[in-house]
Amino acid sequence: MVNMNLVMSSSHRSSSTPSSSSAASQSSFSDLLHSSTEELEQYTNFLSLMPMRKDTKVQEYVPSEFQELTREEREDWLELQCVLFEEETRSSLDTNNENDNFIDDFGRYLKKVTRRWASWNHRSFGSISSIDQVKELVDWEEQTQQKFPTTSQQQQSITTNSTSDTSSNENNPLKRFTQYCERSKNLLHIFRIDIYRPLCDYFKDVEDEVPKSVERIVQKWEALLHFSPLNEKLFNTSRDKLVNTSLRVSRSTDAHLVERLVPDLHQKKLEVLRLANKWCLISKAKVNQRRGTYTLSPKSLVDREGKQTVEIGNQEFVNVTQRETMPRKRIVAVSQELVNQDYEHIQDELYKSRTRYDETSQELRAAQEKCKYYEDEMTFCRTECANLRDQLQHTAELRKAIEMKVNDSYSSNGTGFIEENNNDRTTSQSVVYDTALWEKELERIKNKYSRQKIKFMNARKQIEALNKQLEISQTRCTQLHSKFESDVYSCRALEKQLETARKNIQTQGTMVDALQHQCYTLKQELDSSNVKKGELYTQLNNTLQHCKNVEHDLKLTRLKFKELTDENGRRQSREEELERENVQLRKLIEQNGLRRRSAEAMNTVEYNALRRRSMETFHSEQNLLRRRSAENYSLPPNDKQWKHQVPSLQSSTIKELNRPKSPANKPKDCMFPDINAARSF
């Protein structure tokens, strides 16, 4: 017998690579060459019944092979794993069919089965809160259908529209529920081994929140499938709120936890898939951020060697001739370099994707040509085998006819007939020999046919794998092309921003140059103002000193003027006294005659001499005061008191000197006629 375990192990849960399938086929061909025709036919029938992928489309995680991949290849592989896992999740329960109300059908059918179980066992089944109880009802229903087929046919006619045996599992909601639970267990194992393990092994640069969330949801998923009874705390949402599903949950019943299990498991699958994609995206973003990060030291931004600076106060300004060393050119260069690197990286990735797409297309065309060649060869082998089968059948009929003829000859003629019919025996022997040859040729053709059929099946598997890989490459190429277009658009936008930034930098540089020129002009004006300020400060000090001297002289002049005023008052009082005395003397002269005349003459001479002396003294002092005032009169600008007081003193002094004399001050004529006559002489 052929080693069937070897064939199953090589075909079950393979990584869908052409090399592994070809190696398995070559190892099995060596055994097939030495096997018999019946074993070969059994093996070919087994291969025809064996599915292409027995359990899942998700590829198997092999740590030794995964370790040899690059970072980008690992990310692409995980993206493919997530896409395949999502397809498996959505195909396990078709929620897009509007006519498929699985939860409602499951609730109604479960209620009917529990009622039937209660009527058979004369007791209530109780609340259903575990998967094992549903399996128990399924087993009980199968047993009753085997014992009472009529009843089962009636029940199938009520609950389903089809009576075929092949679709009984699909139309039975309880069996669909158990199959979905088993499929969920299988998907949980696949997610743990083929997605979660590589994420934990090679994508550890993610924060702890996402891995913890994934682990928490996976633990709840596993607890819902393995623990009995179901715990309501393990469910994500209420019965009325479901995410990413169109499944409707029926009203509250005794089996509401079991009814909530299917949509909640579906939600958990989509949630862990979303978190896995987020995990990959965060890790990829961090890697790209580390690749695109540049640090510029302060020394590299500004070259301060040989710069010319101007100090204004406590600040320092760079000269206009050294503007080329400012960091704006460095910033523009770094920005342009980053844009060019990103553009080149996207171009390289797009070129690699196109190359992989072309290689996959070539492999697919080669596999299709090979498959067509195998189909033609297998068709030829089929026709040849049919011809040989017809020839063999004709030869067998001829042999039987000859044998019957020989037997008839023996029975009719005895032994003498043998000598006469030697030629017929020779003919029969040749026919037997030809028959053996045809049988060997037929066996050889069957072996060749079986081998060609196996090659054809392997080629068909390879074509399907290449078709999947081609679809993935096309999707990836489309994504990269769209990403390339968006990056080209963003690159153009960045170039426009860069050009605008350059213009702004040039404008700002021109403004800075103008401001520096204005600063230089203001600095020169400030220096000249400081020089003028020093001169004015010196002149102000001199003026203040001169004002102090003038104030001192003015005080002395006022004292002198006061003394003169007092002296003038005393002299006026003296003059009044003299006038009174003169009046008395006149009276005495009137009384005494000539005696009075001589006394009045003497009094008049004395008065005139005294007055002349006082006037000379006053005029000399006034002239001295005028000369000093002309030489030293300079008052401070804010001394309003002396500004108005000194001219008033001068004007009062001048008015006093130029005041017309009163009649009392004038010399009066003598009232005696003899004296007047004497004056006339």
pLDDT digits (tens, 9 = 90+) for 584-628: 888 887 877 655 555 566 667 777 787 788 788 877 877 877 777
Q: Is the pLDDT of residue 648 over 70?
A: no
Task: Measure Cα distances from 83 to 56, 59, 87, 195 in Å.
Answer: 12, 11, 6, 11
Task: Measure Cα distances from 315 to 312, 518, 530, 661 in Å.
Answer: 6, 15, 19, 78
Distance CA 135, CA 150 (A): 23
How high is the pLDDT of residue 535? 92
Sign of CA pseudo-dihedral 467, 270, 229, 210: positive
- Between 520 and 9, residue with greater pLDDT: 520
- Between 467 and 118, residue with greater pLDDT: 118
Kindly indicate the confidence band of residue 668, based on its pLDDT and cuts at 50, 70 and 90.
very low
- Between 648 and 29, residue with greater pLDDT: 648
What does the angle CA 117 – CA 122 – CA 127 come to, to the nearest 5 degrees?
Answer: 55
Lowest mean pLDDT among 18-22, 236-240, 491-495, 560-564: 18-22
Name the residue type at position 474.
Q
- Between 118 and 29, residue with greater pLDDT: 118
Distance CA 283, CA 269 (A): 21
Distance CA 126, CA 110 (A): 12
Query: Tokens in use for 108?
Result: 């109604």
Sign of CA pseudo-dihedral 171, 172, 177, 182: negative
Kindly indicate the confidence band of residue 488, based on its pLDDT and cuts at 50, 70 and 90.
confident
Longest dimension (CA), the chain: 248
How many Cα atoms are found within 13 Å in the side-chain-facing hemisphere of 134?
Answer: 30
Distance CA 466, CA 356 (A): 12
How high is the pLDDT of residue 43? 36
What mean pLDDT value characterizes the chain?
70
Q: Is the pLDDT of residue 502 over 60?
A: yes
Distance CA 269, CA 259 (A): 17
Distance CA 108, CA 160 (A): 12
- Between 587 and 417, residue with greater pLDDT: 587
Give the predicted TM-score (pTM) of the model: 0.36
Q: In terms of Cα–Cα distance, which of 179, 268, 256, 263 is closest to 220?
A: 268
Per-position b or e across 216-227, b if 16+ CB within 10 A of its CB: ebbebbbebbee
Q: Is the pLDDT of residue 305 over 60?
A: no
Q: Check whether the bond before 229 is cis (ω within 30° of 0).
A: yes
Lowest mean pLDDT among 192-201, 240-249, 348-357, 562-571: 240-249
Q: In terms of Cα–Cα distance, which of 380, 394, 110, 136 is closest to 250?
A: 110
Tell me what the mean pLDDT of segment 19-28 comes to: 38
Phi-psi region of 414 (alpha: psi -120 to 50; beta: other; left: phi over 0): left
High-pLDDT (> 90) share of the chain, %: 5
Phi, psi for residue 283 in degrees, rounded to 5: -65, -40
Segments in 148-255 forming alpha helices (H): 149-159, 168-171, 173-191, 197-202, 209-226
Torsion angle of the four alpha carbons 364, 367, 368, 373, in this order, in degrees rounded to the nearest 10: 170
- Between 160 and 220, residue with greater pLDDT: 220
pLDDT digits (tens, 9 = 90+) for 267-303: 888 988 888 888 888 777 777 665 544 444 444 344 4
How high is the pLDDT of residue 1? 32
Kindly indicate the confidence band of residue 631, based on its pLDDT and cuts at 50, 70 and 90.
low
How high is the pLDDT of residue 169? 57
Q: Could you tell me if 134 and 110 are in contact, meaning their C-beta atoms sit under 8 angstroms apart?
A: yes
Distance CA 24, CA 10 (A): 6
Lowest mean pLDDT among 137-146, 351-360, 369-378, 590-599: 590-599
Q: Is the pLDDT of residue 250 over 60?
A: no
How high is the pLDDT of residue 351? 78
Sign of CA pseudo-dihedral 663, 664, 666, 667: positive
Q: Is the pLDDT of residue 333 over 90?
A: no
How high is the pLDDT of residue 8? 34
Sign of CA pseudo-dihedral 404, 410, 412, 417: positive
pLDDT digits (tens, 9 = 90+) for 171-230: 788 888 888 889 888 899 989 888 888 888 888 766 678 888 888 888 888 888 887 788
Kindly indicate the confidence band of residue 556, based on its pLDDT and cuts at 50, 70 and 90.
very high
Residue 110 burial (CB count, 10 A): 23
Residue 165 burial (CB count, 10 A): 8
In DSSP terms, 316 is beta-bridged to 311
pLDDT digits (tens, 9 = 90+) for 422-441: 555 666 677 777 778 777 77
Q: Is the pLDDT of residue 641 over 70?
A: no
Q: Could you tell me if 96 and 244 are in contact, meaning their C-beta atoms sit under 8 angstroms apart?
A: no
Q: Is the pLDDT of residue 654 over 60?
A: no
In DSSP terms, 312 is beta-bridged to 315
Burial class, 272, CB count within 10 angstroms (exposed 0-12 / middle 13-18 / buried 19+): buried
Q: In terms of Cα–Cα distance, which of 271, 269, 281, 270 is closest to 199?
A: 281
Name the residue type at position 115.
R
pLDDT digits (tens, 9 = 90+) for 444-483: 777 777 777 787 777 777 777 777 777 887 777 777 777 7
**At which residue do the structure tokens 């309880």 appear?**
174
Query: Tokens in use for 98?
Result: 């509007």
The gap between the terminal CA atoms of the chain, to the nearest Å, is 198
Q: Could you tell me if 323 and 460 are in contact, meaning their C-beta atoms sit under 8 angstroms apart?
A: no
Q: Is the pLDDT of residue 342 over 50?
A: yes
Burial class, 331, CB count within 10 angstroms (exposed 0-12 / middle 13-18 / buried 19+): middle
Q: Could you tell me if 201 and 227 are in contact, meaning their C-beta atoms sit under 8 angstroms apart?
A: no
How high is the pLDDT of residue 7? 33
Name the residue type at position 318.
V
How high is the pLDDT of residue 545? 92
Name the residue type at position 120.
W
- Between 19 and 55, residue with greater pLDDT: 55
Q: Give the CA radius of gyration of the chain.
A: 66
Query: Tokens in use for 138?
Result: 């399924």
